[in-house]
């Protein structure tokens, strides 16, 4: 039961992260709609990169959700790495547009 509780808590953590990523992408899209043409290209390029990162993270999360109890800890390591890389990408994008 402990393992199931841990897995469920981890799923909730990842789901919250994905929701935050979606909110950030929406925020960048809104900002992109309000900037000059030159900046729009940069915003849209960054949004595409972030969307790709988010999609990869979502795919890993779906793989994690479908994994057996025996395999989920192994998949969790890959998901942790994807979360870390995605976090850095979003932080870099945020800093770029400040």
Per-residue pLDDT, 21: 86
Report the percentage of the chain scoring pLDDT > 90: 2
Per-residue pLDDT, 28: 82
pLDDT digits (tens, 9 = 90+) for 62-93: 888 888 877 777 778 888 888 888 778 777 77
Its domain, for residue 44, covers: 2-96
Please tell me the total count of domains within the chain: 1
Per-residue pLDDT, 98: 63
Integer CA distances (angstroms), 33 to 30, 42, 61, 97, in order: 5, 12, 30, 14
Mean pLDDT of 20-43: 82
Judge if pTM exceeds 0.85.
no
Q: How many Cβ atoms from other residues are within 10 Å of residue 86's Cβ?
A: 20
Cβ-contact 91, 73 below 8 angstroms: no
């Amino acid at each position: 039961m402990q393992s199931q509780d841990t897995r469920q808590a981890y799923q909730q953590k990842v789901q919250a992260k994905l929701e935050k990523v979606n909110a950030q992408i929406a925020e960048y899209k809104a900002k992109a709609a309000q900037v000059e043409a030159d900046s729009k290209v940069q915003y849209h390029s960054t949004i595409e990169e972030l969307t790709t990162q988010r999609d990869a993270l979502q795919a890993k999360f779906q793989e994690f959700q479908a994994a057996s109890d025996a395999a989920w800890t192994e998949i969790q390591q890959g998901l942790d790495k994807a979360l870390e890389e995605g976090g850095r990408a979003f932080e870099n994008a945020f800093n770029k547009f400040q």
